[in-house]
Amino acid sequence: MTYLSAPLAAMISPPPSIVTERTPDGGLFLIAAEETFDVRNNVHMENATAISEALAPLSAII
């Protein structure tokens, strides 16, 4: 799970394949797995990779 504040959340496009949840203040949770994350689970790893790729635009500012 990754949390982004509202200003950072506005700078990315969340992958459609993952679970997301907005907070009342505009923040964003990006969730790779709703159960305990398991590196042996291909879906968990694909979702984690999708989150990592979605966060790439932020690397220039943080």
Residues 16-54: tens digit of each pLDDT: 999 999 999 999 999 999 999 999 999 999 999 999 999
Give every CB contact of residue 49 below 8 A, 6+ residues apart in sequence.
Answer: none
In which domain, by residue range, is 14 found? 2-60
The predicted model scores a pTM of 0.88
- Total tally of structural domains belonging to the chain: 1
Would you place residue 55 in the very low, low, confident or very high pLDDT band (cuts 50, 70, 90)?
very high
At 47, is the secondary structure helix, strand, or coil? helix
